[in-house]
Chains A and B, each alone.
Chain A
Amino acid sequence: MARVVVDVFLKPEILDPQGRAVQGALGRLGMEGVRDVRQGKQFVIDLEGDLAGDRAKLMEKLAGELLSNPVIEDFTMRVEA
Chain B
Amino acid sequence: MRVGVVTFPGTLDDQDAARAVSIAGGEPVALWHGDDDLKGVDAVVLPGGFSYGDYLRCGAISRFAPVMTSLVPAAEGGLPVLGICNGFQILCESHLLPGALTRNDSLHFICRDQRLRIERTDTMWTSDFTDGQEIVIPLKNGEGCYVADDAVLDELEGEGRIIARYLEVNPNGSRRDIAGISNARGNVVGLMPHPEHAVEALTGPSVDGLGFFTSVLTSVVNA
Contact = CB atoms under 8 A, between A and B. Distances in A.
Interface residues of B, number: 20
Specify which of B102, B145, B173 lies most central, judged by the most chain A CB atoms within 10 Å of its CB. B102
B111 interface: no
B107 A15 contact: no
Given A66-B56, A69-B93, A15 B102 contact: yes
Interface string A46-75: 000000000000000000001101011000
A17 B103 contact: yes
Contacts of B149: 13
Nearest to A10: B102
Nearest to B107: A17
Given A14-B147, A21-B107, A72-B147, A66 B64 contact: yes
Chain A interface extent, by class: 10 to 19
A18 interface: yes
A71 B92 contact: yes
Given A71-B92, A71-B148, A72-B147, A15 B60 contact: no
A18 B173 CA distance: 14
Given A67-B56, A69-B100, 11 more contacts: A13-B149, A15-B102, A15-B105, A69-B60, A69-B93, A71-B92, A71-B100, A71-B147, A72-B100, A72-B102, A72-B147
B133 interface: no
B33 interface: no
Main secondary structure of the interface of B (DSSP, over half): loop
A7 B92 CA distance: 22
B139 to A, nearest CB: 18
Contacts of B56: 66-67
B173 to A, nearest CB: 7
Interface string A1-36: 000000000100111011001000000000000000
A-B pairs, 10 with minimum CB distance: A71-B100, A72-B100, A17-B107, A17-B105, A17-B103, A69-B100, A69-B57, A21-B107, A14-B147, A72-B147
A10 B92 CA distance: 16
B11 interface: no
